[in-house]
Structure 1
């Protein structure tokens, strides 16, 4: 009989002070114990480890000579600022994308297009039943909102509010998956062209990647030295190609291109530039950004 390699977890918890002492013994330079302890308490050593583990010797766990806690602090703060800018930018795009989709499909089909099976070509992963169930659930959770209350006070048929109302309830992920199963290529083309993309498949991959990025950022995921689980397609007509398609730079380029198409106020590029300037110890390459990124296609 094979012997299990699993063993009970026995590692004890450590105080921030104990953890700081351990880091110092591993060669970390700490100019201010007070500052380091504030981060170990307020951010947590386990989360901070995501910003230092890659520079440690895998066997001895020692830091390179002269490696300073300031390097860790700057990585943490840059990541936090970029994540906040990402949430703001994707929020702008989420509202714009769902507005364009809801408006086009309502005008082309009906205000209750999501109840019309003929306009969809379902897949095993996302069918009409799942889509309608998602709408029902989200509307149910939103019954306390004034605009949902108003519909049910005034109407009982159709049994759900119109598209422009449900768009304020359902998640970005629903819009991405629903775009993918639209049956008429003209629906997809019209929506994608509103964002300056004349290849619906490219736009489909972009909005799917945006949902992944949004979830990562919203749940405090680390962006430095992380490869996203999906890769946005390149857009040759726009000159947009990616050497590292799963890097943050790739999806950041998509965000910038789409934001520019909305004509709405946004701070994405300026926010990134300001953050890179504020934390000079962190190479932009840790987010996949090349030298001269400001003039790359899509920017």
Structure 2
């Protein structure tokens, strides 16, 4: 089927929303937001308000749906995304530091390049090739200095490599370590099993990419899940009954890691305050289970 839909002007987009029963109280403001956010991006936030149209089989909106409601959800999701990115940044830096220090102290500055430490030689070769591209592109002072001063090895010591590789690539290096004992040693300071940390690293890389591209988090169904931990006890208790494809478990895990990395952080309270401040953003749409506030992982938040 050939795509044949014409482009639609912003005034016509607003007219279409009104035709479908959306209330637009301030058309000047609506035109402003449509211009600087776009119809297509906002569309994801009015989908929950849609109902089948009675006549033409298209979509209409529930009675009383306002453009301002859609904008409220959009702003909520933006603030949620910034909160999640704030936590991911600190967790990511901590994982980089722990991995690099363990590998350097155990196998030396360039031991991470030794294929004998990895379960899959082909995957390791691809990871090294990807790292080589990333390092060659880097204009960081330390990267330029290493390339100008040293001819061998071609790649830098692990503490430099950890700073230029993407987080997705870091999770591949860590997850493919052959010996479980080594993965467990890297995971131990974070208070979780290595399988959980490996799984969460892959999942967090996926969530990070969504955030980096300004994607929707609020009711996003993830394609990359994380493993539910068996310990500490508050984690499996918090995640019981939660939808594993949505954001709730990610938030619980980020808070657990932050409690170790940044003791005294008020991040969890900021998350709860954000949820409480937007009644339109039903926590159920983020995978939150019934009675989530009474569970130990969330207890203590106002």
Name the CA distance, whole Å, in 1 between partners of 2:117 and 2:6. 58
User: Using a 3 Å threshold, how does the CA distance of structure 1 residues 148 and 266 change in structure 2: closer, same or farther?
Assistant: farther
Counterpart in the other structure of 1:69: 67
Q: Pick from 13, 29, 33: which aligns with 2:27?
A: 33
Instruction: Give RMSD over aligned pairs.
Output: 1.9
SS at match of 1:57: strand
SS at match of 2:65: coil
Counterpart in the other structure of 1:273: 272
* Farther-moved stretch of structure 1 (25-34 vs 165-174): 25-34
Corresponding pairs, count = 289
Q: Pick from 108, 115, 137: which aligns with 1:117?
A: 115
TM-score by length of 1: 0.90
Q: Deviations over 1:134-177 (max 9, x none)?
A: 221111011x3211233234433322211111111000011111
2:45 equivalent to 1:46: no
Is the Cα–Cα contact under 8 Å of residues 28 and 63 in structure 1 kept in the other structure?
yes
SS at match of 1:238: coil
Structure 2 residues not aligned, in runs of 5+: none
User: Using a 3 Å threshold, how does the CA distance of structure 1 residues 60 and 10 change in structure 2: closer, same or farther?
Assistant: closer
SS at match of 1:62: strand
Q: Pick from 166, 169, 188: which aligns with 2:164?
A: 169
2:91 equivalent to 1:93: yes
1:200-239 alignment, distance < 5 Å: 200-239=194-233
1:124-203 alignment, distance < 5 Å: 127-142=123-138, 144-197=139-192, 199-203=193-197
Give the deviation of 1:268 after TM superposition.
2.9
Counterpart in the other structure of 1:288: 287
Give the deviation of 1:42 after TM superposition.
1.2
Give the deviation of 1:32 after TM superposition.
1.4
Name the CA distance, whole Å, in 1 between partners of 2:265 and 2:130. 30
Give the deviation of 1:17 after TM superposition.
1.2
* Farther-moved stretch of structure 1 (27-36 vs 106-115): 27-36
Give the deviation of 1:39 after TM superposition.
1.6
Runs of 4+ in 1 over 6 A off after TM superposition: none
Give the deviation of 1:281 after TM superposition.
2.5
SS at match of 2:153: coil
Q: Pick from 5, 12, 22: which aligns with 1:18?
A: 12
Q: Deviations over 1:95-122 (max 9, x none)?
A: 1101100000100111112221221111
Is the Cα–Cα contact under 8 Å of residues 114 and 132 in structure 1 kept in the other structure?
no
Counterpart in the other structure of 2:105: 107
Name the CA distance, whole Å, in 2 between partners of 1:248 and 1:191. 25
Name the CA distance, whole Å, in 1 between partners of 2:249 and 2:204. 11
Name the CA distance, whole Å, in 2 between partners of 1:118 and 1:17. 63
Give the deviation of 1:295 after TM superposition.
5.1
Is the Cα–Cα contact under 8 Å of residues 71 and 282 in structure 1 kept in the other structure?
no
